[in-house]
């Protein structure tokens, strides 16, 4: 018989949760709601991981909730991240962590627009210029809605947030302002720290560990607007397999690209692989009618100012042919993700028209005017 706590309420019902903790709830007849809290001990989690067991999607989602609520200390979080690194993260665990980060973050409703995000995992140590951010404006200039989710640079000279902030943009999490931007220029920028509250809770531990963790892989998956489409650049084929399984379970339109020589984007420095919902193929630059590019031609500069100048030169159509072609190739495959029935040559022509007509640049200018810090 369960012990009855001292209370004026006559009817209690015991509930034993999975973790083995006992809570009492009022019977439905009392109409007095209380909040149940599921607590999973870190010992249970680590035991499962060290035994080679795979956590469920719901379990890993719960873990993020508890981390965000401050229920695990830094030592416990460090042990969790290290355990997942050593064992290797699985698809359902990625999905659960992703669910938890979106749930504990600030959402953005762009559902009427069916937006695309163009992003790379980073960490390829190639220090290229801001290829995916340039491609975003090319795609926006072609008339498609783009919601770029990004951050400051971690391993390169300048990340998406660096180059956009360099233009005097004030980042915002205001949904009305973000929608206004989307309506005016087909583009909105979601600066990750303003939205991913769960990420903040693990930031000190990630910094102390000084090695990549599963949270490095989650960045592309936690765009708070939950885009309908995504073009993702990955640095290796193992990541391509992992992300493709994740995207298939999420049910979104996706394209994953990897240059065989290790770039997390289409670099045109050699062959590259593309995997989408409907095809998986290795391309040569010549298949797009484009020449091969030398790695040094993609260099992103040594300072944020230099990186911003390269970015501007691309959108102003005064850059080198190599930089232009790389941006067009990435933009073309982003368009292909949206327009499945179009062939890649047609998508490349759409991207080229956007850039060469000045529409991509017009999108950037309108975006900057709407979001200028001085307004």
Residue range 35-55, pLDDT digits in tens: 334 446 899 999 999 999 999
Give the pLDDT score at 12.
39
Q: Is 155 annotated as a binding residue?
A: yes
Are residues 125 and 161 located together in one domain of the fold?
yes
Region 297-314 average pLDDT: 95
Greater pLDDT, 229 or 127: 229
Residue-range definition of the domain harbouring residue 52: 42-104
Give the pLDDT score at 40.
67
DSSP letter, residue 169: B
Residue 190 has pLDDT above 90, yes or no: yes
Q: Is 131 annotated as a binding residue?
A: yes
Are residues 213 and 82 located together in one domain of the fold?
no
Give the pLDDT score at 157.
80
Residue 303 has pLDDT above 70, yes or no: yes
Are residues 135 and 279 located together in one domain of the fold?
yes
Are residues 138 and 223 located together in one domain of the fold?
yes
Phi, psi of 351, deg, nearest 5: -65, -45
Q: Is 170 annotated as a binding residue?
A: no
Residue 15 lies in a domain: no
Q: Is 34 annotated as a binding residue?
A: no
Which helix or strand (DSSP H or E) is residue 258 part of?
A: strand 253-259
Give the pLDDT score at 328.
99
Name the token pair of 35: 């909040």
Greater pLDDT, 96 or 211: 96
Q: Per-residue confidence at 32, pLDDT binned at 50, 70, 90? A: very low
Q: Is 330 annotated as a binding residue?
A: no
Are residues 50 and 184 located together in one domain of the fold?
no
Q: What is the pLDDT of residues 227-278, one digit of tens each?
A: 999 999 999 999 999 999 999 999 999 999 999 999 999 999 999 999 999 9
Q: Is 313 annotated as a binding residue?
A: no
Q: Is 124 annotated as a binding residue?
A: yes
Residue 373 has pLDDT above 70, yes or no: no
Are residues 85 and 121 located together in one domain of the fold?
no
Mean pLDDT of the chain: 89
pTM of the model: 0.86
Are residues 214 and 252 located together in one domain of the fold?
yes
Q: Is 265 annotated as a binding residue?
A: yes
Q: Is 156 annotated as a binding residue?
A: yes
Q: Per-residue confidence at 293, pLDDT binned at 50, 70, 90? A: very high
Are residues 99 and 222 located together in one domain of the fold?
no
Q: Is 12 left (phi over 0), alpha (psi -120 to 50) or beta?
A: beta
Domains held by the chain: number: 2
Residue 21 lies in a domain: no
* CATH number of the domain to which 332 belongs: 3.40.1030.10
Residue 26 has pLDDT above 80, yes or no: no
Q: Per-residue confidence at 94, pLDDT binned at 50, 70, 90? A: very high
Q: Is 244 annotated as a binding residue?
A: no
Region 167-189 average pLDDT: 97
Phi, psi of 233, deg, nearest 5: -100, 130
Kind of pairing between the strands at 272-276 and 253-259: antiparallel
Q: Is 339 annotated as a binding residue?
A: no
Name the token pair of 53: 């067991």
Q: Is 245 annotated as a binding residue?
A: no
Phi, psi of 112, deg, nearest 5: -65, -15
Greater pLDDT, 6 or 288: 288
Are residues 211 and 87 located together in one domain of the fold?
no
CA distance 178 to 209: 35
Greater pLDDT, 9 or 317: 317
Give the pLDDT score at 180.
96
Residue 3 has pLDDT above 60, yes or no: no
Region 148-170 average pLDDT: 90
Are residues 225 and 245 located together in one domain of the fold?
yes
Region 125-129 average pLDDT: 89
Q: Is 123 annotated as a binding residue?
A: yes
Are residues 152 and 203 located together in one domain of the fold?
yes
Give the pLDDT score at 25.
38
Give the pLDDT score at 1.
44
Q: Is 48 annotated as a binding residue?
A: no
Q: Is 128 annotated as a binding residue?
A: yes
Q: In a 3-state reduction of DSSP, which class is residue 12?
A: strand
Region 153-160 average pLDDT: 82
* Percent of residues, the chain, with pLDDT higher than 90: 77
Q: Is 3 annotated as a binding residue?
A: no
Domain boundary among 54, 77, 104: 104
Residue 285 has pLDDT above 90, yes or no: yes
Cβ neighbour number for residue 95 with a 10 Å cutoff: 20
Q: Is 113 annotated as a binding residue?
A: no
CA distance 146 to 54: 35
């Amino acid at each position: 018989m369960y012990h009855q706590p001292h209370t004026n309420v006559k009817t209690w019902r015991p509930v034993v949760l999975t973790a083995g903790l006992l809570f009492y709830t009022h019977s439905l007849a009392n109409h007095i709601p209380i909040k149940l809290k599921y607590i999973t001990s870190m010992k249970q989690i680590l035991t499962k991981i060290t035994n080679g067991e795979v956590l469920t999607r719901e379990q890993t989602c719960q873990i993020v909730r508890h981390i965000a609520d401050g229920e695990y200390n830094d030592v416990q979080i460090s042990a969790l991240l290290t355990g997942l690194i050593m064992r290797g993260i699985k698809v359902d665990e990625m999905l659960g962590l992703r669910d938890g980060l979106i749930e504990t973050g600030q959402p953005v409703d762009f559902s009427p627009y069916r937006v695309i995000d163009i992003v790379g995992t980073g960490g390829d140590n190639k220090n290229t210029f801001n290829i995916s951010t340039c491609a975003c404006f090319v795609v926006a200039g072609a008339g498609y809605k783009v919601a770029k989710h990004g951050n400051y640079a971690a391993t390169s000279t300048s990340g998406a947030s660096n180059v956009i902030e360099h233009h005097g943009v004030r980042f915002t999490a205001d949904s009305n302002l973000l929608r206004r931007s989307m309506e005016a220029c087909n583009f909105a920028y979601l600066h990750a720290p303003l939205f991913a509250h769960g990420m903040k809770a693990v930031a000190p531990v990630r910094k102390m560990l000084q090695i990549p963790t599963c949270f490095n892989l989650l960045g592309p998956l936690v765009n708070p607007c939950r885009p309908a489409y995504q073009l993702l650049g990955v640095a290796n084929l193992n990541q391509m397999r992992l992300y493709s399984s994740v995207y298939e379970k999420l049910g979104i339109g996706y394209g994953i690209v990897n240059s065989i020589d290790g770039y997390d984007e289409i670099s045109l420095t050699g062959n590259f692989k593309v995997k989408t919902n409907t095809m998986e193929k290795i391309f040569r630059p010549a298949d797009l009618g484009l020449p091969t590019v030398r790695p040094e031609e993609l260099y992103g500069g040594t300072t944020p100012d230099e990186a911003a100048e390269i970015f501007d030169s691309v959108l102003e159509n005064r850059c080198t042919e190599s930089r232009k072609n790389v941006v067009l190739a990435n933009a073309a495959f982003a368009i292909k993700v949206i327009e499945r029935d179009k062939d890649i040559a047609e998508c490349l022509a759409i991207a080229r028209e956007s850039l060469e007509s000045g529409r991509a640049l017009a999108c950037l200018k309108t975006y900057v005017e709407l979001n200028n810090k001085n307004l």
